[in-house]
Amino acid sequence: MIRVESLTKVFRRPRSFSGPFGSLRTLVTRQYDERTAVRDVNFEIAEGEVVGYLGANGAGKSTTIKMLTGILTPTSGLVEVNGRVPWRERVANARSVGVVFGQRSQLWWDLPLIESLRLVGDLYDVPAGRFTTSLARMRDLLGLDDFLDTPVRQLSLGQRMRGDLAAAMLYEPPILYLDEPTVGLDMLAKQAVREFIAETNQGGRTTVVLTTHDLADVEALCKRIILIDKGKVLYDGGIDALIGAYAPPRRLVVHLDDGTRNFDLTEGTTVTDLIARISAEHTVRDLSFEEPDLEGVIKRIYADHAS
């Protein structure tokens, strides 16, 4: 469904000059500063996959998504989305993808939500019968009925996000790009968004590319992640394999009379023997385990890569 080969994006800007006539020199200069946002990225995403595309701020995530949607043209490399080159066939590509940016809305600010959705239906030439069916599905899955007639500017953040998801999927595109879809939402709103994404994927075989800093979204929805840093792919594979390869050891946390001690369960160390040794020397009040999690693993990978 999505194929990316040797994808690179370099941004160029005229070099700035200070001093007398600096602005004029900047305007006419042929000297440029370059910044490589995406560097030789390769991956393929099959129909029906839900893939987490992860990285720190400035890692190249949004630049990649913008090239997949056709907003940006690559400096070099190949992108095919559903058999099309996005920046060459922008209109056709736009009709086959849905996009939700958590920080921006595609809805009309002063119109009631229902009118925004009707406008989306008109823009994408959705037949009346199909629009009615699709809207009914969105109303049911996203619980839109309570605020369909409310102007978008009066919606809460969670309501607006549900409205944006409805707008993105109203014309039933086979691919959905989500950029921080749960940013700023409370737990109930986050859960509603996650359930909608999961049902959309499972019910319609929609391919989903998810960028987020909330790794709970990733753990709830994705079996595969692509980890990017400084424009380059560091990891592409399953979450379980990533944790298995990079996770720190499980940790036993023991609460004693004189404080709390942490013990790493390294290979060859059994929990029973460790607890027996500790109990022989101390009075154990309580104990618990710290399991390796995705957030800790990704932090460790970035730390290793930076060193």
Structure tokens at 240: 């379980």
- In the chain, the amino acid numbered 302 is Y
Q: Which residue has the tokens 């940790």?
A: 251
Can you give the pLDDT at residue 252?
80
Domain boundaries, the chain: 47-239, 245-306
Q: Which residue intervals of 84-142 are DSSP H helices? A: 90-95, 113-123, 128-142
CA 208 to mean position of chain CA atoms: 9
Can you give the pLDDT at residue 27?
65
Q: If 0-12 CB within 10 Å is exposed, 13-18 middle and 19+ buried, where does residue 88 land?
A: exposed
Taking alpha carbons only, the member of 169, 159, 18 closest to residue 98 is: 169
Which CATH homologous superfamily contains domain 47-239? P-loop containing nucleotide triphosphate hydrolases (3.40.50.300)
Can you give the pLDDT at residue 213?
83
Q: How far apart are CA 57 and CA 63, in angstroms?
A: 11
Q: How big is the CA angle at 168 (ends 164 and 172), to the nearest 5 degrees?
A: 145
What is the pTM assigned to this prediction? 0.80
Q: Could you report the average pLDDT of every consecutive run of 10 residues in the chain (307 residues)? A: 96 74 66 88 96 90 93 95 94 93 87 96 95 94 93 93 94 93 85 91 90 87 92 90 73 82 72 81 80 72 72
